[in-house]
Every structure is written in C-alpha cells, then in structure tokens.
Chains A and B, each alone.
Chain A
Amino acid sequence: MSESRDYNDIPGTYVMDGKHSRKGYHLNMFCMSLNKAENREAFRADEEAYLNTFPMTPEQRQAVLDRSWLELLRLGGNIYFTFKIAAFDRLNMQHLGAAMSDTPMTEEEFAQMMIDGGRSIEGNRSKTEAKNG
C-alpha cells in the first residue's frame, strides 16, 4: 500500500484508499455515530468523555475538539464523515470549504468564489502544475 499512486499528484485532495481508510477507521466511525440523536446528546454533554469511548488516537481526538477540518482529513477522516461534526455544529459545507482552503478565506468569500464559477481547474490539476503555476 506504500507505492506511489498517480492520484497522489492531485493537489489538496485526500483520496480515501485502503491506507487512508485504515488510519481513519475509528475517527470516521465516531463521526458516523452522530447520525443518532442520543449520541449527539452524549457528545453535547461532554465531548471528551464521548470521544474516549472510541479507540481513536490522541491526535484524532484533539482534531475533533479543535474542529481542525484539514487535520481531520490528514488523520484519515473522510469529508462525508467529518461533515457530521459540522452538521452537529450547524455549520455548512461552505464554512468548511473556506476553513480548508490553502489561502485564508471567510465563508462569505468562499461562497462568492462559488458564485463566480468556483475554484478554477487551471493550476490545480497536479502538484507539479501548481508549483510551476
């Protein structure tokens, strides 16, 4: 699973392959648990205590507590799962999009970027292209 793969050249993109999935399993399963109202209540009552019921790494727990959206992806999270934390916080995908962007951006600026046609593919196809941009 350690060989280089062609999709690793796509900038700012965390592909959920087997390696990523193994790393993030318990983190993602914690996120999944927030689909149930009673679990959301338990998490709301004491976030740390609830997180301790999942065999996650200390870094993963901290990233959840900090709502560190990019770090959650780096630690094996997948956006469809980590978005459950955002839904819990009543945040939308544009808030997350802004928070994960490589250049600092507010939610309003991110929403405007989308209205203006979204983030351009030009310069964002590959890490080499982005670097030489």
Chain B
Amino acid sequence: MAKIIAGIGTSHVPSLGAALDHGKTQTDYWKPLFDGLEPARRWIAETNPDVCIIIFNDHASAFSQALISTFAIGVAPEFQPADEGYGPRQVPVVKGDGELAWHIAESLILDEFDMTIVNEMPVDHGLTVPLSVMYDQPAEWPCRVIPVCVNVIQYPQPTANRCYNLGKAIRRAVDSYPEDLRVAIVGTGGLSHQLQGERAGLINSEFDTTFLEKLVTEPETIKSMSHTEYLREAGSEGIEMIMWLTMRGALDDQVNEIYRFYHVPASNTAYGLLVLENE
C-alpha cells in the first residue's frame, strides 16, 4: 500500500531559485540560507520518496483571473517550467504520476473535495523552487510530482481549516492506493511577507515562530485562524501559510520533528523550512 512517510514545509520565494540558477549560493547574502538547507537535503537524499505531492500556488502563470480554481490537481505525465516573464527557469521538466494523481482526484471528489482536474499546467517558481530547495540542481528531479494548486491570491481563499481537512482527505486517498509507494507531502509558501502596497516588506517573526511551533505540536489550534488575521499578522502574501496546514493535515496527529530552520530575509520574505516524519 502507498504510505505518506513525511511532510516538508518550505517557502517558495523566487529569488532563492534565481540565486541557485545564477550561482550565487555562496555570497554573503545567500550563504546562511543555503547552509540552512543542508540538513534537509541530506535527509531527503536518504529518505528518497517515490512521489512528492506538492501543495503550491500559481503566480499568474498557469491560471489568471480568467479562471480561478480554489483547489486544482495536476494529473499529466509531465509539467513544463513556466515562462513567468523572463523565459522559463532552466530546471528539469517535472514528471507526474498520472495513475496516482487520478486515484487521488477521484478519491478527493468522492470525499466531497471538488477538485479542478488539470491536464495542462505550466508550473512556476511556486512548485519548482521547493524542488530546488530539496534536490539542488540534478539533471532530473529524483521523484515523481503531483502538483496540488491552491488559490491564495483571490479573496476569499479557502479557509485554513479547509486546507487542513484537504490534507486529511489526501491522506485517506494515498492510504487507499494499492501500489507500494513512499510518498512525501510538501506544503509551500510564506512565511510572513507582504509584497504589495505601502506596508511592503512586512515581516512578523514572532507570528512565524509561533506558527511553526503550533503546526508541529498542536495544528488544531491554528486551523481556525481567520483570513483577516493571516493578512494582518503574516502580511497579504503571508496567507500562503495556509498551504502548510494541508501538509500537516496529511500527517499523523503526533509527528517526529526532524529539522526546523528559519531565516530573514530571503528577498522580501521570511524563509521557513520544516521536516516532519510520521512515527
């Protein structure tokens, strides 16, 4: 049977991908952050999951205001890196797992999560930067990927509670898949940051630290936080943190914390990284 073995949380800040792509990981600015990734990279190399389910958001690449999907799942054999305005990132094509993805899509919809099913979806930094965080610069990504795209741009975003429960439904879907597969689930985005407006540059480290702690030990206490509280405390783009709750919802109630790292700044963002294992 397939099994969710671990969960990873990571910001997906695009400048991190750019620093890697342009050979700047050893500069004074970036070295502390890339050094902070090392323990997680060693862990994932040893753990080597067959499939990563990556919960991410699109940034006006595959989806625009023409069509706003709350939850979408990619079922294609592969996903091309998106052109976000300056040509696609030079990273490997993302290989999917159509059979498992369709199984999850069917299971979720029958479980009353009405997913948008996507066969054509260029994937932007929201998905490829987490892969770079985990795997550095391989010729091919070492795992198959099931992209799950969440609307975090258009209000109202799904509630934190809904995202958490989506994680639980993904867990049920994976648990009922007959093939022996080791699956990791990745929650991306955040942590506190605000890109827009007069309040641009907002960081709230106290909020981030509390969020990470509660996400590990008592996620039920943060799943009912309102949109306005996320927008106010974590910044307008910090609401991406709701996607970490999907990752957490897919894990056991009690988890082993393998690694935690927090660093300010990565460009305009507070960077967070978390590795959790089911017991």
The answer to whether B197 touches A14 (Cβ under 8 A) is yes
Cα distance A17–B61 in the bound complex, in angstroms? 20
* Interchain CB contact under 8 A, B264 and A81: no
Pair B153/A13 contact, Cβ less than 8 Å = no
Output the nearest chain A residue to B154 by Cβ-Cβ distance.
A16
Contact yes or no, A94 B227, CB < 8 A: no
| Residues of chain A at interface, number, CB under 8 A | 54
Q: Scan residues 166-199 of chain B and give those whose CB is less than 8 A from a CB of chain A.
A: 192, 194-199
Chain A residues in 8 Å Cβ range of B231: 7, 10, 13, 15
A28 touching B65 in the complex, CB below 8 Å, given contacts A118-B264, A124-B199: yes
Q: Given A13-B236, A28-B64, A80-B153, answer yes or no on A114-B265 (Cβ-Cβ < 8 Å).
A: yes
A119 within 8 A of B: yes
> Is there an interface contact between A15 and B155, defined as CB atoms closer than 8 Å?
yes
Instruction: Check B83–A101 contact: CB distance below 8 A.
Output: no
Closest Cβ of chain B to A17, distance in Å, is: 4
Q: Is the CB of B197 within 8 A of A118?
A: no
Question: Which residues on the A side are within 8 Å of B23 (C-beta)?
Answer: none
B118 in contact (CB, < 8 A): no
Report the nearest A residue to B199, measured CB to CB.
A12
Q: Which of A87, A101, A110, A120 contacts B86 (CB 8 A)?
A: A87
In the complex, whether B203 has a CB less than 8 A from a CB of chain A is yes
Cβ–Cβ contact A118 & B64, under 8 A: no
Measured in the bound complex, the distance between the Cα atoms of B153 and A38 in whole Å is 26
- Are B228's CB and A6's CB within 8 A? yes
Contact: B228 with A12, CB < 8 Å?
A: no
A100–B264 CA distance with the chains assembled, in angstroms:
21
Question: A35-B61, A81-B60 in contact; A101/B232 too (CB < 8 A)?
Answer: no
Q: Which of A17, A18, A88, A100 contacts B198 (CB 8 A)?
A: A100
Residues of B within 8 A of A119 (CB): 194, 199-203
A29: which of B59, B64, B203, B228 is its contact (CB, 8 Å)? B64
Q: Any chain B CB within 8 A of the CB of A34?
A: yes
B278 interface contact, C-beta 8 A: no
Chain B residue nearest in CB terms to A130: B199
- A80-B60 in contact given A10-B228, A37-B83 (Cβ < 8 Å): yes
Chain B residues with CB below 8 A from A40, complex form: 85
| A71-90 with Cβ < 8 A to chain B | 73, 78-81, 83-84, 87-88, 90
What total of A-B pairs shows CB separation below 8 Å?
Answer: 152
A113 to B86, CA, bound (A): 27
Q: From residue A81, how far is it (CB to closest CB) to chain B in Å?
A: 5
Whether, in the assembled complex, B82 has its beta carbon less than 8 Å from a beta carbon of chain A, the answer is: yes
Q: Please, which residue of chain B has its CB at the minimum distance from the CB of A5? A: B228
- Cα–Cα distance between A120 and B196 once the two chains are bound (Å): 15
Enumerate chain A residues within 8 angstroms of B206, measured Cβ to Cβ. Answer: 121
Contact partner of A12 (CB less than 8 A), chosen from B15, B61, B197, is B197
Task: Tell which of A7, A34, A113 touches B228, judged by Cβ atoms closer than 8 Å.
Answer: A7
Q: Is the CB of B268 within 8 A of A93?
A: yes
Q: Which residue of B lies closest to A90 (CB)?
A: B86
> In the complex, how many angstroms separate the beta carbon of B200 from the nearest chain A beta carbon?
4
Interface CB pairs A-B, < 8 A, 11: A10-B228, A12-B200, A16-B155, A28-B60, A31-B60, A40-B85, A93-B15, A100-B198, A117-B264, A121-B203, A124-B199
Known: A28-B64, A117-B203, A120-B203. 7 other contacts (CB 8 A): A35-B61, A70-B198, A84-B85, A114-B264, A119-B199, A119-B203, A121-B207
